[in-house]
Amino acid sequence: MAAHSAVLSMSKIIKPFWGGHLGNTVKVFGTTLTSHRNKSSLTRENIPPPAKYGGRHTVTLIPGDGIGPELLNHVREVFRFSCVPVDFEVVHVNSAVETEDDINNAITAIRRNGVALKGNIETKHTMAPSVKSRNNLLRTSLDLYANVMHCQSLPGVQTRHKNIDIMIIRENTEGEYSSLEHESVSGVVESLKIITRNNSLRIADYAFKLAREKGRRRVTAVHKANIMKLGDGLFLQCCREVASGYPDITFDSMIVDNTTMQLVSKPQQFDVMVMPNLYGNVVSNVCAGLVGGPGLVPGANYGHVYAVFETATRNTGKSIANRNIANPTAMLLASCMMLDHLKLYDHASSIRNAILNTMNETRLHTADIGGQGTTSEVVQTIMRFIQSKGQLTSEY
Amino acid sequence: MTARSVRSLSGALKPLFSNRCPGITSCFLQVYGAASCNQRQKSTYTPPPARYGGRHTVTLIPGDGIGPELGNHVRELFRFCCVPVDFEVVNVDSSVASEDDINNAIMAIRRNGVALKGNIETNHNLPPSYKSRNNLLRTTLDLYANVMHCQSLPGVRTRHRNIDIMIIRENTEGEYSSLEHENVPGVVECLKIITKTKSLRIADYAFRTARAKGRRRVTAVHKANIMKLGDGLFLECCKEVASGYPEITFDSMIVDNTTMQLVSRPQQFDLMVMPNLYGNVVSNVCAGLVGGPGLVPGANYGEDYAVFETGTRNTGKSIANRNTANPTAMLLASCLLLDHLKLHAYASMIRRAILSTVSETRLHTADLGGQGSTSEVVQSIMNAVQSTGPQTLSI
């Protein structure tokens, strides 16, 4: 335990001196450390503390493409303004090159810091199929097995459905996203969807633990086991096994097509939903659409050791990039989730309250929720709210 | 030519042989059927529907749940309106593991060319080697295109208005190949198959339909950023076919963005084409948007056969035999069937009656928020048909 924090703090001291040279050393150390950490994390005894030096946390920041860079700049602005003790280590990932060096640097940085905030990295369709999705690589290398999305109807936003409060827990590393495809016979492509017992048990366990923690009554597993009997059948079985250990929580299951239909007619019936990767993608986007759009919902990717925060629907937003019209709410709420993860609860709640108050002001809504406000106006208002609460802030 | 004579011969022989030696006739037909299939595929000749004495024979598969009662209502309505269609009922028992029942049903559909079916339940308790009967039917008969037309109906109150989306879904491959294996215990691999020929075929069908119905825009739904080879191939095939239809705009959208757009602004979509699983999800979302599973009919088309059913393929076990199911979807599916048989006058007559009944809020069934019963709705449709004047039986 002491050894880990010692190495980590050492790497931070040496880093400014050695810069790039240290990368390999840290990676070697990092692997040994990770295996140490994994063994202890499984028993949940020794979760390593976040990278903290002098009371300030270091968090990796991956700007990504599209609206990522500008939104993350706003996050940094708000954090600096509210005197949040977080420093960002910016790592750029160029999506246009084929080499994996950039994303490996980013992964190393996250291993070093433990926490990251990222924008979406674009996956260019024009590149060869061997160029894997960078976001996917990041998730699988760091084993961020749980994607958690909390969809809540926000008070100031006008939507067709009201009182939605759904928590979606999606398996993040396997399923349809294994990137295993081959074309044995020309013109016939086989894509492999992998479901394993270990990962299914793990995600089901995470779902039920989270449900218990948050006081949720009901967990619904979403599947298509009538067609994919072995695959989704295994997933469902694992969920049932885990459910038997949580008698206070009701467990039921629903086929994905029926789920999406129920979501558009009566979304209030759902509480916590757990599902494999692809259904999670679709269902989370449906729910995001129901509560007001991609600009409002934050998402978090948790592993045993690392956590990466981003917008829930992972949009690059290329068409609205650099036009000052993107909705900063999702990214700012994601940064609040990150602060909660770093146990800086006061800062998290102050920023969150400011955001929710700003949401109530309709004239400030950005284009995606039907208003005409600009990103900078929204951020300015949020900062004003934070200041009005009386907490310590930088000069305005 | 040969195909037609074989068909009419089988129609003539059927009543003679059916009771005494069904096995021989079916083998006979199977052999001829296979031979005539080969001939048919070579020519572009579309076989005529099974007609004898001016009356069509259509296979009816009641299925489970609400299927049987809705099938009965369809028959009642057809008899009432004097529609020249006779139903050959084939029951498929979903609780037995043998495939005899579904093979009989497939045989009957090969014989008649057209079918109306309820959903056959896939029992989870049976072993994984037991394939989904509905899936078997679709793949054996090569019903490669599932067409669902989601329209906002005038009398039904929904959160979105003016929806008019046509969804064309590949029906035979993709995630539904039922190919799974467990090489290592605890690790299951499911194969999703995408082939060039089938993707070209469905894309071609989509564009032809778009042209025939005067649609301006076709959107391909995919997830090619993750499944680069698989959905990438599908997308490529769609682009190839699109180049041959310059008057129709073609664009593509990733499935997660599509579902999100569907719940916020569904009016932007015109015609959508997609592989099997995304089709399942998207069609259910659209059905939910226009008012629920009780309102949308679906059709499965192949080169030679056509099978009509409700759009969302629900068994409806929980509301079976309680007279609360919404008959609209099944009745509109039967109108699609009549259109396919070129009995357009009957089809439009029944469709008009159904739409006028749906506008009456007090007759809405429970799924639309009302308290009407199935039989009331059907009675009202029959009244509406009678009042428009054509020949009907007495009520």
Report pLDDT digits (tens) over A256-268: 999 999 999 999 9
Running DSSP on this structure, what letter comes out for residue A303? -
Q: Do B197 and A187 touch (CB under 8 A)?
A: yes
CA-to-CA separations, A315 to A195, A310, A312, B143, in angstroms, rounded: 26, 10, 8, 36
Q: How far is B262 from chain A (nearest CA, A)?
A: 8
Backbone phi and psi for residue B298, each to the nearest 5 degrees, phi listed first: -130, 155
Q: How far is B345 from chain A (nearest CA, A)?
A: 33
Determine the average pLDDT of the residues in A380-385. 92
**CA-based nearest residue in chain A for residue B136:** A227
Q: Do B226 and A313 touch (CB under 8 A)?
A: no
**CA-based nearest residue in chain A for residue B266:** A289
* Predicted local distance difference test score (pLDDT) of residue A51: 66
Rounded Cα–Cα distance for residues A232 and A253 (Å): 11
Residues of A in contact with B261 (CB under 8 A): 289
The pair of three-digit structure tokens given for residue A357, joined into one six-digit string: 């108050």
Rounded Cα–Cα distance for residues A199 and A78 (Å): 37
* Predicted local distance difference test score (pLDDT) of residue A395: 63
b/e code B332-343 from CB counts within 10 Å (16+ = b): bbbbbbbbbbeb
**CA-based nearest residue in chain A for residue B255:** A282
Residues of B in contact with A253 (CB under 8 A): none
Q: How far is B357 from chain A (nearest CA, A)?
A: 22
Q: Do B226 and A177 touch (CB under 8 A)?
A: yes
Tracing tokens 């001016």 back to the chain, one arrives at B54
- The partner residue sitting opposite A230, judged by closest CB among B190, B192, B230, is B190
Q: Beta-strand (E) ranges in A73-164?
A: 86-90, 115-118, 146-152
* Predicted local distance difference test score (pLDDT) of residue B3: 41
The pair of three-digit structure tokens given for residue A9, joined into one six-digit string: 């703090």
- The partner residue sitting opposite A227, judged by closest CB among B178, B257, B283, is B178
Q: How far is B126 from chain A (nearest CA, A)?
A: 10
Counting every residue, how long is chain B? Answer: 395
Rounded Cα–Cα distance for residues B360 and B23 (Å): 49
In this predicted structure, the answer to whether residue A36 has a pLDDT above a threshold of 90 is no
**CA-based nearest residue in chain B for residue A225:** B124
Q: A127 by DSSP, 3-state: which?
A: coil
Rounded Cα–Cα distance for residues A299 and A313 (Å): 8
Of B125, B121, B129, B83, residue with least CA distance to B101:
B121
Q: Which residues of chain B have pLDDT under 70?
A: 1-50, 389, 393-395
* Predicted local distance difference test score (pLDDT) of residue B114: 94
Q: How far is A14 from chain B (nearest CA, A)?
A: 38
Rounded Cα–Cα distance for residues A178 and A27 (Å): 24
* Amino acid at site A98: E
CA-to-CA separations, A251 to A196, A206, A239, A247, B313, in angstroms, rounded: 21, 14, 9, 9, 25
Nearest-Å Rg of the Cα atoms of chain A is: 21
Determine the average pLDDT of the residues in A273-301. 93
Residues of A in contact with B65 (CB under 8 A): none
Q: Minimum mean pLDDT among A23-27, A228-232, B389-393: which range?
A: A23-27
**CA-based nearest residue in chain A for residue B194:** A189
**CA-based nearest residue in chain A for residue B264:** A289
Whole-number average pLDDT of chain A: 85
Nearest-Å Rg of the Cα atoms of chain B is: 21
Q: Minimum mean pLDDT among A288-302, A335-349, B15-29: which range?
A: B15-29
Rounded Cα–Cα distance for residues A368 and A293 (Å): 7
- The partner residue sitting opposite A261, judged by closest CB among B176, B192, B293, is B293
Q: ipTM > 0.95? A: no
Higher pLDDT, B23 or A236: A236
The pair of three-digit structure tokens given for residue B86, joined into one six-digit string: 């006779």
* Predicted local distance difference test score (pLDDT) of residue A171: 93
Residues of A in contact with B257 (CB under 8 A): 285, 315
* Predicted local distance difference test score (pLDDT) of residue A156: 83
Of A142, A148, A171, residue with least CA distance to A239:
A171
The pair of three-digit structure tokens given for residue B72, joined into one six-digit string: 């009965």
- The partner residue sitting opposite A196, judged by closest CB among B187, B196, B230, is B187
* Predicted local distance difference test score (pLDDT) of residue B394: 58
Rounded Cα–Cα distance for residues B174 and B277 (Å): 7
Residues of B in contact with A197 (CB under 8 A): 185-187
Determine the average pLDDT of the residues in A168-189. 89
Residues of B in contact with A256 (CB under 8 A): 280-281
b/e code A273-308 from CB counts within 10 Å (16+ = b): bbbbbbbbbbbbbbbbbbbbbbbbbbbbbbbbbbbb
Residues of B in contact with A123 (CB under 8 A): 225-226
CA angle A220, A221, A222 (to 5 degrees): 115
Q: Do A257 and B283 touch (CB under 8 A)?
A: yes
Q: How far is A178 from chain B (nearest CA, A)?
A: 9
* Predicted local distance difference test score (pLDDT) of residue A52: 74
- The partner residue sitting opposite B186, judged by closest CB among A182, A193, A196, is A196
